[in-house]
Chains A and B, each alone.
Chain A
Amino acid sequence: MNRSMKNALEMSGIYLIVLIMFAVILYPLVWAFSMSLNPGTSLFALKLIPDNLSLEHYQWLFTNPRSNYLLWYKNTMIVAVANGLASVSIISILAYVFSRFRFIGRKNSIYTFLLLQMFPVLMGMVAIYLLLNTVNLLDTFTGLILIYVFGGLPMNLFLVKGYLDTIPRDLDESAKMDGAGYMTIFFRILIPLAAPIIAVVALFTFMAPFFDFLTPQIIIRSPEKFTLAVGLYNFINDKFANNFTIFAAGTILIAIPIAVVFLLLQRFLISGLGDGATKG
């Protein structure tokens, strides 16, 4: 077999594998999308390519008085934005301290954080429920946001710290020589340089409320405060087969904006995670 034959064969092998992966990845997504366009609610009669497309389920979400979809969307946005902002500010300054300062208890706090990130928040849910109850934060967004911010803190902290460790210390030391204070160094030098990983953390923490249905399920009681995940989950859990088409429509409307943001930030994801991992 000559060289170019072999080359061509290899390339078609690679493309074949990629095509198979495309099929496996896209099949469920396309299926869900076509469900949302199928008229009627019965899953038994559904077809992958519907005979006549209809937007009735999308209309239902926005116009039917029984639909709380817009409310859930608003709630989730509030929680997501607050979680993203709070997490990014707390995590970046903590990472700065852990990366640049030597202080008593530093090593032990790092170990504590490393250990804590291993325990799922779920294990302590009963206690969190009672705790929030005692301080009157049960069934409030504040309580939910607090749990998100501090529950997700250790994991993201290490992403940012690892990234900051890769930025040469000479930069902040020479700035210090020029009389810059800690906060100046932090805001003017480290934050701009660490932008890729901070974007990644902002994305992760912003999306957490969209993905998580468990925490709000336990903390949020009143239906008008449901986030999308809980709302849709309860909606489909009542009558799985009958509500599925509407559920599909509701999820598509969440998935599209998130996927778009995600794919736009793809470059950051690859470089941020890669660099943090290489040297962190």
Chain B
Amino acid sequence: MNPKMNLKKATGEQTQIGGRPDGNNHNPVLATLLSLIPGLGQLYNRRWIKGIIFLILGLSLIIALTFPLIHGIEGLFTLGSDPETEDSRGLLVQGLLSLIVGIMFFGLYFLNLKDAHKDATKRQQGVRTPSMRQAFHDSWEHGFPYFVVVPNFIMMALIVIFPLLFMVSLAFTNYNLYNSPPAHLLDWVGFANFKALFTESVWSKSLLAVVAWTVVWTLVATTLQISLAFFLAVLVNDSRVKFKRIIRTVLILPWAVPSFMTVLVFTAMFNDTFGAINRDIFSHFGLSIPWLSDPTWARIAIIMIQIWLGFPYVFTLITGVLQSISKDWYEAADVDGGTRWKKFRYITMPHVLYATAPLLIMQYSYNFNNFNIIYLFNKGGPPVSGQNSGATDILISWVYSLTFKENNYKMAAAVSIIMGIVVAAFALYQFRRTRSFREEGMY
């Protein structure tokens, strides 16, 4: 550093620094460079405690983690070489975790550089180094949101993000029943599984059928359940209706009973041979409908059950919104001679839809992923010839049976990636809507 330059600067800004001689020859770039070894830059900034903590923490992390991280990521590439001693799945788990930890590690490292730079700049401008008490207070004051968010985010990364990454990785391996650890090693196979999914007739037929039914199921079941709920909520909300409490209580009942039980009860009721629906209702008309064994009837039954199960939640939601609409609107409409349909169309509808749109959209995504009802009702069946998916299988239940029944992990993973793409596209769409929806105040 050029001493003359420093002198000149120092004399020039003497008054501003107010008797802190080392003030402005303090160099943020130097601090940042020193912090390449965590803590040194902070020491240079005369933040002693912080510097020592960073130094100890940084060095011990580097010493403890560098080798395992490199080893882990290496394992991710090779997936093991000796089936006797190595388990590819374990290597994959370790590799992905190393990757996540590594990224977090670099994030911290970067923050350390930034911190050194920030403190040095402050010092250069003559801001006093805060006392230790002040520093602790500040870090609680400014750091509070981070203390809360960061640990939870790490847990989320482990329990939600990591498993998704793992699933994505499996789609590019050859992991299935016949080639499974610990007896065999896994290999990366590139896009071979996707190629099979789209070109081999069994797979492409199944995929097409499942995707088509998933779309129909999501749209039809959810739309019907929302419409029914809306209709009933408006009816019951009519001021002339008596016994509102009792009516609402009964209408909420299907939501209050655990769904896995009601679905199983329905499975028994729809049973082709002994089911109550055929025996008690349709037998009067001389009919016996193959609810569980015919694809079309099974689909109709499952949609009806979902409407039964799903409408109470939306009903509750809409009832809440209806009660919050101010009466003035309707009175104003009465004065202007608005018909009932017009009041519904121009007051009720916009209010309810505006208020509940995000939650209603979530209903669609809920049904898209509604594994429980599909699996419990008929395990995705009845089976269809020439396909390895059942007639009522939606993507998620197909993934489940591929994974846990057939142990065909690679194909299950490939299918779930396709599912993930659909979900992500949908989510992006929703984000854009939500953002334009409520720009102000929300985020």
Which A residues are closer than 8 A to B by beta carbons? 7, 11, 14-15, 17-18, 21-22, 24-26, 28-29, 31-32, 35, 43-44, 46, 48, 90, 93-94, 96-98, 101, 103, 105-107, 109-111, 113-116, 118-128, 130-131, 134, 146-147, 150-151, 153-155, 165, 182, 207, 210-214, 218, 229, 232-233, 236, 240-241, 244, 247-248, 251, 254-255, 258-259, 262-263, 266, 269-275, 277-278, 280
Contacts and interface: CB of A to CB of B under 8 A. Distances in A.
Contacts of B359: 273, 277
Given A123-B167, A153-B156, A277-B321, A21 B232 contact: yes
Interface of B: 89-90, 93, 144-146, 148-149, 152-153, 155-156, 158-167, 170, 232, 235-236, 238, 240-241, 247-262, 264-269, 271, 273-274, 276, 280, 308, 316-317, 319-321, 323-324, 355-356, 358-359, 362, 365, 369, 371-372, 375-376, 396, 399-400, 403-404, 409, 416, 419-420, 423-424, 426-427, 430-431, 434, 441-443
Contacts of B320: 269-275, 277-278
A17 B420 CA distance: 41
A113 B323 CA distance: 30
28 contacts: A17-B232, A18-B232, A18-B247, A24-B308, A43-B268, A43-B271, A97-B149, A98-B149, A101-B144, A114-B430, A116-B161, A118-B423, A118-B424, A122-B371, A123-B396, A125-B403, A127-B162, A153-B152, A155-B362, A211-B259, A211-B260, A247-B264, A251-B258, A263-B256, A269-B316, A274-B355, A275-B320, A275-B324
User: Chain B binding site: helix, strand, loop or mixed by DSSP?
Assistant: helix
Contacts of A96: 148
Contacts of B369: 120, 122
Nearest to B371: A122
A11 to B, nearest CB: 6
B256 A127 contact: no
B155 to A, nearest CB: 5
Contacts of A273: 316-317, 320, 359
A190 to B, nearest CB: 14
B158 A131 contact: yes
B255 A274 contact: no
Given A114-B427, A127-B164, A278-B355, 9 more contacts: A25-B308, A28-B308, A48-B280, A94-B148, A97-B145, A120-B396, A131-B162, A212-B260, A255-B257
Contact of A263 (B161, B165, B252, B427): B252
Contacts of B371: 120, 122, 214
A101 B427 CA distance: 25
Given A103-B146, A211-B260, A259-B253, A31 B427 contact: no
A14 B235 contact: yes
A235 to B, nearest CB: 11
B93 to A, nearest CB: 5
B160 A116 contact: yes
Nearest to A157: B152
Question: Which of B145, B236, B253, B355 has the most C-beta atoms of chain A within 10 angstroms of its own C-beta?
Answer: B145
Contacts of B273: 44
Contacts of A155: 362
Contact of A22 (B250, B255, B403, B404): B250
B371 to A, nearest CB: 6
Given A93-B148, A115-B427, A146-B159, A277 B420 contact: no
A11 B255 CA distance: 27
A280 B271 CA distance: 43
Nearest to A15: B241
Contacts of A147: 159
